[in-house]
Amino acid sequence: MRSDFCIRVLGPVTVERDGEPLDVGGPQARAVLAMLVLRSGRGVSLAELSGVLWDDRPPPSFRAQIHNLISGLRRALPPDLIVTRPPGYHLAAGPGQVDLVEFRGEAAAGRGQLAAGRYTPAAELFRAALALWRGLPCADLPYPAIQAATIGLEEQHVAVLQDRIDADLGLGRGAGLVGELVALTRDHPLDERFRGQLMTALVQAGRVADALAGYRECRRRMIEEVGVEPSARLQDLHQAVLAGTVVPLAGADAAGRAACVVPWQAPPPVPDLVGRADVTRRIFDLVLDAGADVALTGPGGIGKTALMLRVADALRDRFPDGQLYAKLSGTDRTPVPTATVLARFLRALGVPPDEVPPDPEDRAGVFRSMLAARRVLIVLDDVADEAQLRPLLPARGGCRLLATSRRRLDAMEALRTVRLDALPLGPSVDLLRAIAGPSRIDAEPSAATDIARYCGGLPLALRIAGARLAARGGWKVRDMVRCLADARQRLDWLHLGDLDVRASVLGGYGALPREQQRLFRLLAVLDAHEFPVWLTAALTGTQSGAERAVEGLAEAHLVEPAGSGVTGPRYRMHDLVRLLAAELAADFDGPAELRAARHRTFDGWLALAAAADSRLPHWVGADPEPRPRWRPPGELLDAVRADPMGWLDEERTALLDTVRRAADDACARVAWPLAQRLCAYLDLRGLYGEWSQALTSGLRAAEAAGDARGRATMLGLLCLAAASGDDYTGSLAYGERVLAAYAELRGAPGAEPEEPAGADDPNLDHPDVVAHRRRLALARRDGDALAVAFAGARLIHAMRAAWIQGDYLSLFEEVRDGFREGGIPLLEAWALQYVGLVYCRQGRQDEAAQCLARARALVAEAGDAAEMSNTGGDLAAFAVAHGRFDEAAEMAREGLAQAGRANDQWSTGKVLMTLGEIAWARGDHRAAELAYLDALTVWRRLNVPERIGRVRHVLRERFGTRAEEPVGS
């Protein structure tokens, strides 16, 4: 087929555009289309279509129904393809748009070449015609009239097959045709043409006695079953064989017998391959342009075999001397020996069994010699390893090799590997549509998407799910979703007949060494799609061998490389593969071993998080915490210390998940310390929602374990997180519990006070820090309490932005006193949050209680203003409220720059609102509106409804702007 659009009736009726199936409607619509194709020479009337669809009992509305079917087809097909003219409807298809037309054209051209004695082009044309057949014509349409109309097509198919065999016999390829003709004469025992062709092929292969015996058997059956002698033509052939006048191999001598054998062993391709266009083009480029041998690698069920057979079928014309095929059973416990494969290939190439060399190396040598002057495609499925494959590689020349393997085959220098990945979501749904039927899938698109997600883009899983739906006409797509939703039974549902996801993955697992099998099982403990390589050492409890073991899993495609991070290589594991690993772990590894492995990973995360956190600036220090019981190697800790924010950004999801999982697993000794170690990072990034969730999980674990220190630490940090997130009420509510929790710790070791920054700390020379120290000194000299407070607070922010781990308490105390004297109660309350928490940790309970009481009173006095301001420590906003516009603008610019460097979206949104207020107060209404629009974009990105509503209110009341939809600056 040469067109980008085609109608296929030589098999199930389908329509394709650019190789992808096109939905043209249900069975009736496809029946109408089939009749248009089958009657393309004279058209189809309404009466004929009525007879096809309803026999002799059409409904009263049959005309309207047929018109609707034709209208639907016209909408789905290219314009002007279906035309109306007497006696009814005609199909005006162009070249290459109908497989039946193409079949007849190729066959006619082939017969012309055959009649002229040009056997090579004749054979190619007949093969091209036969390649269009995909099964019984219109096999999916059980309409008697259509089935009757296709009877003649089967006869045409057999005739073209016989013509192709005649062409191959004319080329002397009889030895390679014997197996095919034996099967054909078995299926058509009284067809004299097939019998004569088999006799000729046997003679060309040097098997004259077999040819004569075949004639005798044919004659006996004809006399017994039909009562007649064979035809004169077959009798003449028999006499020619007896006389020795049938020349083997068109005159070649016996020594060259094998040179004319053309094997075609590769199985037919699957009909519904989708989503592989890019990788197919890449394979074609490698094979045809680069002249490379190609191996498709990937996990079980990823579709390697289906793609390989599709490519092999498409390459038939490029390799006219045939295709050799073998399944090497590389995932079985006993793969097929290479020597056995070589023997099969040599026999397929025409070498008599008694002439196949006994030595494997000799067999490989003969094999390469026989391929040296040919163009043969070697197709190998399920290769075990490089040792099994290497002797089967063809020598340089016109032959190429396609192979599939679960292993990466990295040691094959002359082989180009193409890794297959899971299908994206769209092609996954397309595959379901092709198998289960377009109408069912399109009727429930959301449920179909859920199935695709549960199958993880694994073609084998999608085929099974689609086949289950196709076999159960009464099921809805959502019924299949319900079955797959339970992870414990998902693999059971993904098993149908000889298709089994579990068995497919187990094939790769069974070939692994024991230490790799154990690691594979333990990876299920992680419950994560992607993981860094150091976790494998934590799982196995040893620092040696774990990385080599996971690389072995990667070579077997049970895990896949996923790039590299701060701590080294990363890997990912398919969800269905992880489910099997969990089943195996439950069968082979006891609960105690699995729990120990899981807790080692928790300890590893805590050790690395502590290393990263040790490099971050802290305003209130850290409470004493249990030390991890398992630690990664020192070089990994050093790597994390060298790039703490990079590592925390990279592993944020995993760290937060570990806090929750440790709490669920009653591992309080990790849950709350890890939550504490994430505080500075989450605060710097403005991730207050995630910060509170982590602390809540840590608190739950500490309370369940009766861990007083952990409980007090989590409550104190929840108080701080609420204040940082502008939740004054929540912060003070936690404050009450903080006092009680730390009171229980009287006599327990207190937190280590932070060491003031040393005089040689290079960060003290940071320009921003130096400038703010100068401003604070000037404010102190002038005796301006509010200036002192603002300068001190700005210095605190500048020190943290410069990553100075110094004594913040004395500065917070000075800031607290300055805001009290300067009359900004909410900023005083903001400072009291930090001062009070440090007092609690230092055991200064009375002073902490005074801070809490003062903060509560300040917020109560502010009333609704406290809830409405929601500015927290946004100093610039309060400077605006007190008329200090220049200072406010300067602080806002500083805050925006610091928030940008830290990727702190929360602080960015707050500062943008403040910039809007500054511009409004100065009368620059356009700049104010733009600042608020930018703030609205940030709050929408963070999904903060209260902030979104407040900004929209300001835009509507001040500027008349209705920002109902997301707005960009």
- pLDDT tens across 862-874, in order? 665 544 444 445 6
What string of DSSP letters covers 149-193?
HTHHHHHHHHHHHHHHHHHHHHTT-HHHHHHHHHHHHHHSTT-HH
pLDDT band at 252 (very low <50, low <70, confident <90, very high): very low
pLDDT band at 473 (very low <50, low <70, confident <90, very high): confident
pLDDT above 50: residue 355: yes
Cβ atoms of 604 and 669 closer than 8 Å:
no
Amino acid 892: pLDDT: 76
Residue 363 CB coordination number (10 Å):
22
Q: Positive or negative, the Cα torsion across 860, 862, 865, 867?
A: negative
Cβ atoms of 66 and 59 closer than 8 Å:
no
Asked, as a colleague might, if the bond just before 87 is cis with ω within 30 of 0, I would say yes
HSE-up of residue 153 (Cα within 13 Å, Cβ side): 26
Cβ atoms of 439 and 29 closer than 8 Å:
no
- Nearest one of 515, 575, 524 to 546, comparing CA atoms: 515
Q: Which residues does residue 381 pair with via DSSP β-bridges, in sequence order? A: 327
Kind and range of the H or E run holding 381: strand 377-383
pLDDT above 50: residue 897: yes
- Nearest one of 267, 377, 378, 260 to 316, comparing CA atoms: 377
Tell me which of 682-691, 693-702, 758-767, 831-840 is least confident: 758-767
Amino acid 454: pLDDT: 94
Structure tokens at 201: 């092929």
pLDDT above 70: residue 697: yes
pLDDT band at 535 (very low <50, low <70, confident <90, very high): very high
CA distances from 46 to 38, 107, 148 (A): 15, 32, 18
Q: Is 114 exposed, middle or buried (0-12, 13-18, 19+ CB in 10 A)?
A: buried
What string of DSSP letters covers 236-268?
HHHHHHHHT-S-GGGG--GGGGGGG---B-SPP
Q: Positive or negative, the Cα torsion across 664, 667, 668, 672?
A: negative
Residue 13 CB coordination number (10 Å):
22
Q: Which residues does residue 295 pair with via DSSP β-bridges, in sequence order? A: 403, 417
User: How large a percentage of the chain has pLDDT more than 70?
Assistant: 92
Kind and range of the H or E run holding 405: strand 400-405
- Nearest one of 216, 249, 250 to 235, comparing CA atoms: 216
Q: Which residues does residue 15 pair with via DSSP β-bridges, in sequence order? A: 7
Amino acid 852: pLDDT: 81
Amino acid 246: pLDDT: 62
Of residues 783 and 692, more confidence is placed in: 692
pLDDT above 50: residue 810: yes
pLDDT band at 25 (very low <50, low <70, confident <90, very high): confident
> Is 402 strand, coil or helix?
strand
Q: What is d(CA 698, CA 672) in angstroms, rounded to the nearest whole number?
A: 4
549-560 pLDDT per residue, tens: 999 999 888 999
Q: What is d(CA 705, CA 715) in angstroms, rounded to the nearest whole number?
A: 15
Cβ burial 737-776 (10 Å sphere, 16+ → b, else e): bbbebbeebeeeebbeebeebeeebeebebebbeebeebb
Q: What is d(CA 738, CA 741) in angstroms, rounded to the nearest whole number?
A: 5
Start-to-end CA span in the chain (Å): 52
HSE-up of residue 419 (Cα within 13 Å, Cβ side): 15
Most confident of the ranges 59-73, 370-384, 595-609: 595-609
Amino acid 748: pLDDT: 55
Mean pLDDT of 176-189: 89
Q: What is d(CA 335, CA 417) in angstroms, rounded to the nearest whole number?
A: 21
Q: In degrees rounded to 5, what are phi and psi of residue 418?
A: -125, 115
Identity of the residue numbered 674: L
609-623 pLDDT per residue, tens: 999 998 888 877 788
493-522 pLDDT per residue, tens: 999 888 899 888 888 888 888 999 999 999
Mean pLDDT of 262-290: 85
Q: What is the mean pLDDT of the chain?
A: 84
Q: Who's near 669: CB < 8 A, 6+ residues apart? A: 626, 705, 707
Residue 444 CB coordination number (10 Å):
17
Amino acid 250: pLDDT: 33
**Beta strand pairing call for 377-383 and 323-327:** parallel
Residue for token pair 């279906």: 82
pLDDT above 60: residue 749: no
Name the DSSP letter for residue 310.
H
Kind and range of the H or E run holding 684: helix 679-684
Structure tokens at 66: 């047929």
Q: Is 591 exposed, middle or buried (0-12, 13-18, 19+ CB in 10 A)?
A: exposed
287-328 pLDDT per residue, tens: 888 888 999 998 888 989 999 999 998 888 888 888 999 999
pLDDT above 60: residue 157: yes
pLDDT band at 901 (very low <50, low <70, confident <90, very high): confident
Mean pLDDT of 805-832: 83
Full-model pTM: 0.65
Amino acid 443: pLDDT: 92
**Beta strand pairing call for 560-565 and 568-572:** antiparallel
Q: What is d(CA 270, CA 276) in angstroms, rounded to the nearest whole number?
A: 13
